[in-house]
Amino acid sequence: MSRMEEPLYNGSEPRLSVSTRNACKLCAPLGASIAFRGIENCIPLVHGSQGCSTYIRRYVISHFKEPVDIASSNFSESSAIFGGGENLKKALDNLVRQYGPEVIGIATTCLSETIGDDVGLYVDEYRRSARPGAAPVIVHASTPSYRGTHMEGYHEAVRAVVKAMAEKGSCNGTVNIIPGFLSPEDLRHLKEVCSDFGVVSTMLPDYSETLDGESWDRYQKLSAGGTPVDAIRKMGSAVGTIQLGRTCEGTGSAAAWLDEHFGVPPLITGIPIGIRETDRFFAVLSSLSPLKTKTPGKYEKERGRLVDAYIDGHKYVFGKRAVLYGEADFVVAMASFLDEIGVVPVFCATGAHPGGFRSAVLSVLENGGENVLALEDGDFVGILEACEELKPDIVIGSSKGYFLSRRLGIPLVRAGFPIHDRIGGQRILHVCYRGTQQLFDRVVNTLIEAGQNASPVGYSYI
């Protein structure tokens, strides 16, 4: 246990290993690209080598099982020496001609950032040279992959979009929602919830349709759906911005930017997984709804059934030990949920290093955090090693934990991103009472199944 007895690791403390072995994170341009695909008629443009966009596409397509077009400015050796301006402008031009987008979202890469490309200047030059009115909105997010993870890329892109497009107007009663990196099913449910609360919401990004659409009758250059540009413009006039995620507080977020520039108050609350976090989210929604609407009956019933299920299943989960990994906000939310059903999240890991991860985890644990380790800047080999020592009963996170689950014989509940070894990752519902219900059933049944399979009897009743 020597390694585990050391103080909890935090961003500034040394990593377990020098190199990263099986990363538990992705690079910033991926997060930015996902966020851009959540805007109506927007095409992401990765400013760097061809591989950056292709690898990101491949990774994302393997999860969403949807066409995901992400363009590249396709650096050559000469662009690396003389700058990528010409390539960027050419890329913008070709995208306008072929896709006719309303928005182009540029995400930079380690390459373009390291050579010091002045993307803002190139974009200005491009705009000046374009026919008046012909250029789409061009948004530029600075996302070198040596800074932060895909989550920083996501938030940087959302902030850049708001910064480029939001306008001040008189308060229009709408509510902005920055949901964090959730599944399309989650986004659809959040919209349903808002609407049931009588809240007119602008969700940014909204890839609930673009990354999980229907079968088509004709080819769509850019899959339909996404936050409309008009709605983004009006985000400066909202009554508030709900930003989901307990670690994304701070000056760099879109919510903070809207507050600073337009006085739209930010409301930061955790991703609503579990009863406690959903109650908090619903309270926030209620406070922002025009009629201060109480939780609608439909959700009261869902909550009631969830409590009923918690009770039905409590003995199968109590005292069980779980290992969690993934994006910081996601892990914090899952830890909160597990804590409230009596599962100890013995090891909570994220590949990100936001700094406040450990305190965010501790803040949601009501049943004591003394047995909980929180690791920032972790990787999957580190998580595997932790599992070898901690011998958890269950592992919860993306499909990237499958190798350790298989090796150690610990069951895995797939949640979050990416799910590369199953279909339907985009349709996993995690949030609110309904999503929690599904997660709870899966967690309980996974534990029951593990016991059943290991039993020499194989009881046919629980």
Partner 1 sequence: MIEILDERKSQIYEKGSQTFELSCDKASLAGSVSQRACVFCGSRVVLYPIADAVHLVHGPIGCAAYTWDIRGSLSSGPELHRLSFSTDLRETEVIYGGEEKLYASLTELIDTYRPKAAFVYATCIVGLIGDDVQSVCARVEKEQGIPVVPVHSEGFRGTKKDGYRAACEALFRLMGNEDGGSVGPFGINILGDFNLAGETWIIKEYYRQMGVDVVSCMTGDGRVDEIRRSYRASLNVVQCSGSMTHLARMMEQAYGIPFKRVSYFGIEDTAEALYMVARHFDDPGVIDRTEELVRSEVNRIYPAIREYRTALEGKKAGIYVGGSFKAFSLVKALRHLGIATVIVGSQTGNREDYEYLREICAEGTIIVDDTNPLELSQFMMEKNVDLLIGGVKERPIAYKMGIGFCDHNHERKLALAGFEGMLNFCREVYSSVMSPVWKFSPARHRQAQLGRACDEQDGRAAV
* Residues between 20 and 39 that touch partner 1 (CB under 8 A): 20-23, 25-27, 29-30
The window from 14-22, 166-174, 228-236, 315-323 that contacts partner 1 (CB under 8 A) reads 14-22
Residues 92-131 as x/- pattern, contact with partner 1 by CB under 8 A? xxxx-xxx---------xxx--xx----------------
Task: Report in angstroms the alpha-carbon separations of 201 from 126, 211, 267.
Answer: 33, 20, 14
Our finding on whether 140 is near partner 1 (CB under 8 A) is: no
**Cis omega (within 30 of 0) on the bond before 345?**
no
Is 364 a binding residue for partner 1 by CB under 8 A? The answer is no
Q: How far is the CB of 417 from partner 1 (least distance, A)?
A: 12
Choose among 362, 156, 357: nearest CA to 256.
156
Reduced to 3 states, what is the DSSP secondary structure of residue 397? strand
- The verdict on whether omega for the bond into residue 136 sits within 30 degrees of 0, i.e. cis, is no
52 near partner 1, judged by CB under 8 A: yes
217 contributes a contact to partner 1 by CB under 8 A: yes
Nearest distance from residue 50's CB to partner 1, in Å?
5
As a whole number of angstroms, the distance between CA 86 and CA 34 comes to: 25
Question: From the CB of 107, what's the least distance to partner 1, in Å?
Answer: 11
Compute the CA torsion angle 172, 178, 179, 183 (nearest 10 deg).
100
Smallest separation, CB 112 to partner 1 (Å): 9
In this chain, which of 38, 40, 41, 48 binds partner 1, going by CB under 8 A?
48
Q: Which of 12, 19, 251, 460 binds partner 1 (CB under 8 A)?
A: 19
Verify binding: residue 56, partner 1, rule CB under 8 A.
yes
Of the ranges 42-50, 245-253, 280-288, 409-417, which one interacts with partner 1 (CB under 8 A)?
42-50
Is residue 45 near partner 1 by the rule CB under 8 A? yes
Place of tokens 């994170």: 25
Burial (0-12, 13-18, 19+ Cβ within 10 Å), 354: buried
| Site residues (CB under 8 A) for partner 1, limited to 228-267 | none
Burial class of residue 129, CB neighbours in 10 A (0-12, 13-18, 19+): exposed
Q: Under rule CB under 8 A, how many of the chain's residues touch partner 1?
A: 75
Q: 42 is written with which tokens?
A: 């927007």
Minimum CB–partner distance for residue 64 and partner 1 (Å): 8
Q: Does 350 bind partner 1 (CB under 8 A)?
A: no
User: Could you give the CA distance from residue 402 to residue 389 in angstroms, rounded to a whole number?
Assistant: 18
- What is the 3-class SS of 233-286, one letter each residue? HHHHHCCEEEEECCCCCCCCCHHHHHHHHHCCCEEEECCCCCHHHHHHHHHHHH
Exactly one of 12, 128, 133, 218 binds partner 1 (CB under 8 A); that residue is 218
The smaller minimum CB distance to partner 1, of residues 423 and 454, is found at: 423
Q: Which is nearer to partner 1, 249 or 385 (CB)?
A: 385
- Selected range binding partner 1 among 59-67, 133-141, 341-349, 427-435, rule: CB under 8 A: 59-67
Report in angstroms how near the CB of residue 409 gets to partner 1 at its nearest: 18
Q: Are 264 and 253 in contact (CB under 8 A)?
A: no
The torsion angles phi and psi of 101, rounded to 5 degrees, stand at: -75, 160
Q: In this complex, which beta carbon is closest to partner 1, that of residue 2 or of residue 460?
A: 2
DSSP 410-448: --EEE-SS---SSS-GGG---SHHHHHHHHHHHHHHHHH
With contact defined as beta carbons under 8 Å apart, do 337 and 430 qualify? no
Nearer to partner 1, 145 or 227 (CB): 145
Binding span for partner 1 by CB under 8 A among 91-99, 176-184, 188-196, 197-205? 91-99
* Residues between 378 and 407 with contacts to partner 1, criterion CB under 8 A: 381, 400, 403
